[in-house]
Structure 1
Amino acid sequence: MSFTRENTSDFFIHKDLGRFLGQELDFYIKNEVFRLDDLGTENEVAVERYVKRAKVLKSIAHRIIDFLAQLEDFQKTLWEKKKFVLRTGYCMTIDHVPKEFYPEILANEGQLAEWRNLYGIGEAKGGQKTLAGDRVDKAFLQSRPYLVIDTALFDGDFTDRLLEKLQHPDGTPVEDLDEAVGGLMIKSENWQALNLLQERYREQVKCIYIDPPYNTGNDEFLYRDNFQHSSWLSLISDRLYCSKPLLLSEGSIFTSIDDNEFANYRRISDHIFGIENFISTIIWQKV
């Protein structure tokens, strides 16, 4: 048998460790080395001794701080680097697909299997793949304009050709693919996804809904739910800061949260979005 130790601490990357440690060093020197409270008392020593001691300490400490800051900045650079988009696919209804692509769609077993799984389309009855007694053929596709195809189930060549000849439901060609896309779904770590969206969707989002970890302290969920309060606040604040530029000026953000982090969330959201923009708290009881 083998055992692993459960992670009991949070991994934290400081945004500016060098500046923070430098400020802490100055505070330490002023309060512990110079000992300002001793001035004018019998414990006072010559100022020269204070200065010499402070210079030596500051020289050594800055070397350590520079080394630690270099390591932390490297980790920060790795984390903040925009990640590659590994795969892009499109889902579209049949009325956007020219009829010349129907044979390839009907020959794609992956697409037929997905339809069968989602809608029961293609279930075998009497040797025929049918739905409500109809054959799954060109006429079948043409009579169901809102049936969805997923380009992730096709090869790149098919997808490229389809996007080049994509049409509107009235048969006119799609001139601007970006404008024709009616929705966007991203599978990603949320902080990276929010940063990816910044330029294209800045001030275009009407409503944001988030359901962050409630920080209940248990491990019943597939995601982590036992953060330190400080780490939870850091997690949430970074993502709220990224979300704000995406909202329209009259946009809204809704958040599902419970008592464990309600007070902390309210403070950070008031700070980011402005306390004057808070509307209301809706309380519901799970039955």
Structure 2
Amino acid sequence: MKKKFVVETTYCIAVAAIPEAFYSDIARNDAQHDEWVQLLAIDEIDGDLTTPGYTETLTPEFLKAHPTLLVDTRHFDPRFTSRLLEAIGDIDDQTDGVLFHGENMQALSLMRTRYQQQVRCVYIDPPFNTSEASLLYKNEYRHATWMTLLQQGVLCAKPMLNEESVVGVAIDDFENDNLSKLLESVFGSSGRLGTLVVETKPSGRTNDRFLATCHEYYHFFGLPGTTAQIRFFPLSREAAAAYSEVDEIGAFRWRDFLRTGGFSTPEERPNSFYPIYYNPASREIRLDCFPGAIEILPLDSNGRRRVWRKTPPSFWRHVSRREIKIEQRASGVWKVLLIDRIKEGTRPKSVWVDRRYDAASHGTKLLKKLFGEAGFGFPKALGATRDVLYVTLGESVDGEVLDYFAGSGTTGHAVIDLNREDGGRRRFLLVEAAYYFDTVLLPRIKKVSFTPDWRDGKPDGLVAGDKAERSPRMVKVIRLESYEDTLNNLGMQRSDEQQLLLDGREAGGRDGLKEQYVLRYMLDVETRGSRSLLNVRDFVDPTAYRLDVKRPGSDESRAVHVDLLETFNWLIGLTVRHIAAPQTFNAAFERDGEKRLLLKGRLKQEDDGLYWFRTVSGTTSDGRRTLVIWRKLSGEAEQDNLVLDAWFTRQGYSAKDSEFDLIYVNGGNNLENLKTPDDLWKVRLIEEDFRRLMFDVEGL
């Protein structure tokens, strides 16, 4: 088993994040224009005295007036995209979401190094294993298969968690007990944070045998010894209005100092039963009797002995802060009141009932508002997902949210909404393998990034001000090689004599020669060098590594160029800071009197240059500042390395400098090398680490 190649990387970049120098090229791109018309109905945007409206030929002024439009680099040639990425600068810092189109286990294994201990919340809504149909994942799995599916994913995601992380998994009654046990087996009983019940179908399921099921469960876990903190819901307007008085500290209300209800008797709380003395004339309050004072005991309306809310020391601290007052009611009874300051919110309860959690109204109907039709079965209610993320992310407003059963993209939508509300920079990582990645999930992210409000597939108002500034800046789209692609690209190397022997009658049958040959020799030896299994000999041109990739939703395949640069970034866990545009050079050579090859003059940077370089810089997950140098090799090693040395010096690099801790280069080279403090070489071959990390599946 190996990790999968990235076969395509594209970026959806908000106009606001793009330098204006690119606006003219964007406005002239017909494919981008047509997508915006079809998906966002920009042709129905009217202008006014201050804002330009739509014209068939787009203008830079129109783009500037609509900063949340996402420019999809898939519509542009590679040269434009590379120039744009270089101009934008800090790539990962501006990336607010990553969408993986591929099998969830393969995506998790590829992203695991990059996001090690960085994911703040894993939220998944897996197939429920019931009779309700799902579009891709078979809902009615055999029990053991379903359990394995869930367990593998959770175990693969676990290294990406830290002590503050929360894992939330949605489920219904059918597999609820089994899921709970599975999660406890992974995280331990100390990792259990709680179980939430949400009413998702107020009308109830009509096909149930007995009770009409109207709820789903959400199980929450953290790592053993978790320090995860729940975030309180804001007070409602009605609740906040009760805090009608204000002092120099803030809003408050007066609350009865008498404790009632459970554990409110002197026998249960003896330290909280004591008299309070009060002089109505001087308003003096004391705990000992003094002249002119009346005695007030904690008695309820029936004259039964109760206790105060605080012990004497705590009561006296409140008195010293002027947070106690005593007043006489019309009945003549004296009441002791305590300041109750407005809370930041209310602790979320374990049962949620709200119309916003209705999956039909706020899931299916919401998709109809976005697209004119649902296009996806059983989407989650946006309100339920939004509130689950709100409470599980704690006070963090900039953490990663991972959903590897992304479906229609509700989790990404919820993250975008949360960021617009409070200005946070939470980032979503979504994984989906099905065809609706392109028909629902990706279009949905593009739509809600443009504006939050939709009706009949068209914008119902445009976003502006703070909400526009808080919209996604960049969404990266990663497409992975599939399992079928790997098999389709296996190349066999077999002689005629071997084939004749395998075709013989005696070679067949259980445990026969043919079966043993396939299992023990063919898949190990004959397929060596297949591009799907990694052929490092083809790294001589990093732009020309090709695979036959199946088109989504069909059996047709097409040849595509594998994105070796992006694949390697993920393999080494690189947080990308800068991706340079390619540079090309020509060079002339000569030999000196001792037959040593020398450059004749300097490198000449030319558009059609033979020698191609492209660099990526960033930081690995263990904090190493890293430079990755990709180049095209001519086949003349002496010339290639002489050009590399000259280019390296021209860029101002030096292996001796402390600017980078690691330098990767494809192809053998003569760059000066040093050992790092941990006894590793500073300059490394891309091919060596690429192969090692591609087949490193420990823990998967």
Tell me which interval the TM-score lies in, with the shorter structure as reference length.
Answer: 0.5 to 0.7
Higher relative contact order (CA 8 A, sep 6+): 2
2:71 to 149, 163, 184: 149
Q: How does the TM-score come out when normalised to structure 2? A: 0.27
What are the Cα deviations for residues 67-113 of structure 1, in whole angstroms up to 9, with x where unaligned? Answer: xxxxxxxxxx3xxx111111111111112212221122111122112
Tell me what 1:120 maps to: 41
Alignment-mate amino acid for residue 122 of structure 2: I
Distance 1:220 1:100, change over 3 A: closer
Are 1:97 and 2:18 counterparts? yes
Task: Decide which structure has greater strand share.
Answer: 2
- For 1:87, the equivalent position in structure 2 comes to 8
* Structure with greater helix share of residues: 1
Q: Which residue of 1 aligns with 2:142?
A: 228
1:108 to 29, 38, 44: 29
- Distance in 2 (CA, whole Å) between partners of 1:104 and 1:271 is 55
2:179 matches 1:247: no
1:248, 1:124 → 2: CA distance? 46
Could you tell me whether the CA contact under 8 Å between 1:92 and 1:150 is conserved in 2?
Answer: yes
Q: Name the CA distance, whole Å, in 1 between partners of 2:61 and 2:167.
A: 45
Q: Which runs of no fewer than 5 residues in structure 2 stay unpaired?
A: 203-700
8 A Cα contact 2:45 2:54, kept in partner: no
Question: Residue by residue, what CA displacement relative to the aligned partner does 1:199-223 show, whole Å, maximum 9, x if unpaired?
Answer: 1001111111101111114545443
Is the Cα–Cα contact under 8 Å of residues 14 and 70 in structure 2 kept in the other structure? yes
Say whether the 8 Å CA contact 2:127–2:134 is kept in structure 1: no
Q: Write the letter of the residue equivalent to 1:260.
A: F
SS of match in other structure, 1:88: strand
Aligned to 1:185: 99
Task: Give 2:190's aligned residue.
Answer: 276
CA 104–250 in structure 1, closer or farther in 2 if over 3 Å, else same: same
Task: After TM superposition, give the deviation of residue 140 of structure 1 in Å.
Answer: 1.1
What SS does the corresponding residue of 2:102 show, helix, strand or coil?
Answer: coil
Cα pair 2:120 2:166 within 8 Å, conserved: yes
User: CA offset at residue 269 of structure 1?
Assistant: 0.5
The one of 78, 101, 113 equivalent to 1:199 is 113
Secondary structure class of the residue paired with 1:237: helix
Counterpart Cα distance in 1 of 2:85 and 2:134: 43
Is 2:53 aligned against 1:133? yes
**Structure showing greater Rg:** 2
Measure the CA separation in 2 of the matches of 1:265 and 1:177. Answer: 38
Paired position in structure 1 for 2:124: 210
The one-character-per-residue Cα deviations of 1:177-199 (angstroms, maximum 9, x if unpaired) are: 22332221111110111111111
Q: Does the Cα contact within 8 Å between 1:217 and 1:227 map onto a contact in 2?
A: no
Secondary structure (helix, strand or coil) at the match of 1:186 reads: strand
**SS, match of residue 122 in structure 2:** strand
AA of the residue aligned to 1:199: T
Using the alignment, how far apart are the partners of 2:132 and 2:13 within structure 1?
Answer: 40
Query: Taking structure 1 as reference, are residues 147 and 220 closer, same or farther at Cα in structure 2, changes over 3 Å only?
Result: closer
Determine the C-alpha separation between the residues in 2 that align with 1:197 and 1:222: 23
> What CA deviation, in whole Å up to 9, does each residue of 1:255-286 have, x standing for no partner?
11011111111111001112112122111231
Partners of 1:204 and 1:246 within 8 A in 2: yes
1:161 alignment partner in structure 2: 83
Cα 1:220–1:205 shift into 2, 3 Å:
closer
TM-fit CA distance, 1:123: 4.4
Q: Is the 8 A contact 1:215 1:226 kept in 2?
A: yes
* TM-score normalised by L of structure 1: 0.63
Q: Which amino acid aligns with 2:108?
A: L
Q: Equivalent residue for 1:28?
A: none
**1:70 matched to which residue of 2?**
none
Deviation at residue 224 of structure 1 after TM alignment? 0.8
- Measured in 2, the distance between the counterparts of 1:253 and 1:153 equals 37
CA RMSD of aligned residues (A): 2.0
C-alpha separation in 1, matches of 2:59 and 2:177:
58
Q: 1:88 to 1:258 in 2, by over 3 A?
A: same
Q: Secondary structure at the match of 2:198?
A: coil
The percent of aligned pairs where both chains have the same amino acid is: 38
**Take 1:234 and 1:209, find their aligned partners in 2: how far apart are those partners?**
18
- Supply the AA of the counterpart residue of 1:159: T
Query: Does the aligned pair in 2 maintain the 1:237–1:268 contact within 8 Å?
Result: yes
Say whether the 8 Å CA contact 1:112–1:122 is kept in structure 2. Answer: no
Q: In structure 1, what residue type is equivalent to 2:63?
A: L
User: Any conservation in 1 of the 2:31–2:75 contact (CA below 8 Å)?
Assistant: yes
Label 1:283 to 1:190 Cα distance change in 2 as closer, same or farther (>3 A): same
Quote the Cα distance in structure 2 between the aligned partners of 1:93 and 1:259. Answer: 42
Number of equivalences: 195
Query: Quick one: which amino acid aligns to residue 133 of structure 1?
Result: G
2:66 and 2:132 map into 1 onto residues whose CA distance is 47
For the residue of structure 1 that corresponds to 2:111, the secondary structure is helix
Question: What amino acid is the match of 2:190?
Answer: E
Which residue of the partner structure matches residue 587 of structure 2?
A: none
Alpha-carbon separation, structure 2, partners of 1:222 and 1:193: 17
